[in-house]
Amino acid sequence: MRGRAAEIADAGALDWQVVWEALKTEAPADSPNTLAQELGFDEERDIPLPDPIGGSATELSGTRHGRSVKLRLGVIPSRWRDSPVTEAHVESPVAPFQVRTDDGRLVAEPGPLPEVEEVLAGLAPAPAVWRDVVVEGGPDGILARRPLTVRGNPQGYVYDLWLVERLADRLGA
């Protein structure tokens, strides 16, 4: 499956390890400088978390398919209060849209782009995979965000990266 993520019709139907392998775009390095070097993430940095939480989150960044992409693991966006999240972000501007989950199915908010609806229509409900993910598209690109919780999928960011890239491909970003 290496490098064949675009051929996956519905990542939610697959184990995360299969999706991870399909997302790989680079050959293994003898001394990789990031955990996800094979995914094209050639930079890794710590992001300090605010007090009183402390500690740090991790940001992996690089270029995938000609687009700047970031994975942030354990960040705390201000609007989510003190709840850490994972984020997958493709930095290519698109027309605004929003996607949320409803009983394991990804659903576009009213007035979405037809291309977004087409992508979502091809995905079967997968409560264990899509739980609590929110996707937003706009001038800053496409961002998928989900809280890090005990009941959530710890590898949800793998599916989120597949989803934001699939949407970016479909929207021509």
Query: Which one-letter DSSP state was computed for residue 5?
Result: G
Token output for 154: 């710890």
**Which string of b and e fits 79-89 if b means at least 16 CB within 10 Å?**
eeeeebbbbbb
Which residue type sits at 146?
R
The one-digit pLDDT tens for each residue of the chain (173 residues) are 888 999 999 999 999 999 999 999 988 888 877 778 999 998 999 888 766 666 778 899 999 999 999 999 887 765 555 678 899 999 999 999 999 999 999 999 877 789 999 999 999 999 999 999 999 999 999 999 998 875 666 789 999 999 999 999 999 86
CA distance 129 to 144: 13
Domain positions in the chain: 5-171
CA distance 54 to 148: 16
CA distance 15 to 99: 22
Query: In this structure, what are the phi and psi dihedrals at residue 79, rounded to the nearest 5 degrees?
Result: -80, -10
Closest CA to 1 of 38, 34, 41, 43: 38
What is the pTM (predicted TM-score) of this model? 0.90
Q: How far is CA 134 from the centre of its chain?
A: 10
